[in-house]
Amino acid sequence: MLKIGIFDSGLGGLTVVQAISKVIKGAELFYIADTKNAPYGDKTTKEILQYSLDITEYFLNNHHIDALVIACNTATSASISTLRKIYPNLIIVGTEPAVKPAIEQTKTEKVGVLATPATLRGDKYQSLIKNLTTTKDVELYEQACAGLVEHIENQTLKSKESMELLKRWLLPMKKANVDTIVLGCTHYPLASSVIEEIMSKDIILLDSGRAIANRLLALLKEVGYKNSGELELNLYTTGDIDRDFVNRLIGKSINTIDL
């Protein structure tokens, strides 16, 4: 059976797992929530690279994976180039903010980007923006959302503190007539309903889950993969995790193993 390793700093990457499970069949998924080192967004590039190297080595040594999905914008920016150099024969799919489709879809030509500080300052994101903004005259409203991942992981999005943070970030976008917002962290789709509530208008929210799943399938088909059969999911965590929340997110009871 095809084996795919997926990792993120916490539960956010499960939004990518959801997207993959709708596209990929006949595979065994191994997901690591690196909650011990979460959030990645406030770590140094060197630290994030080491986490990514350690997790990839674990996947290869213990589960002999055929493909790796870095279900984290921050970790992708910090590690994907190095991982591809070290493991040239491993299929590796990273995550990047869905800025391109946002630029294509916006009607007001004003696009919001919510991301971690590390993602926004990363070379990968800066290169992406430089290339895309030359194709269409669009105004970007970038917002580093320090602390949002923690609110999502702790399920405190409806708290006064969380709502004040989100309003501080989003209301200027609303006033500026932003009509499309890029969810530049795999955790952020879990905050979609709150974001929509604050924007209180028809807002387009774009994340990377579907694009990742489609890219993974395309690469697998290039090496002869037949997309059929049952899908199995194995969850691992390096620290504390809310198992009830995981089960609700996945839609069924999943056994989570501590590493």
Answer yes or no: 185 catalytic.
yes
- What is the SS3 assignment for the chain? CEEEEEEECCCCCHHHHHHHHCCCCCEEEEEEECHHHCCHHHCCHHHHHHHHHHHHHHHHHHHCCCEEEECCHHHHHHHHHHHHHHCCCCEEECCCCCHHHHHHHCCCCEEEEEECHHHHHCHHHHHHHHHHCCCCCCEEEEEECCCHHHHHHCCCCCCHHHHHHHHHHHHHHHHCCCCEEEEECCCHHHHHHHHHHHHCCCCEEECCHHHHHHHHHHHHHHCCCCCCCCEEEEEEECCCCCHHHHHHHHCCCCCEEEC
CA dihedral 197, 167, 146, 70 (to 10 degrees): 20
Answer yes or no: 145 catalytic.
no
Of the candidates 17, 145, 183, 185, the residue annotated as catalytic is 185
Of the candidates 48, 72, 195, 211, the residue annotated as catalytic is 72
* Rounded distance between C-alpha atoms, residue 103 and residue 135, angstroms: 9
User: Looking at the annotation, which residues are catalytic?
Assistant: 72, 185
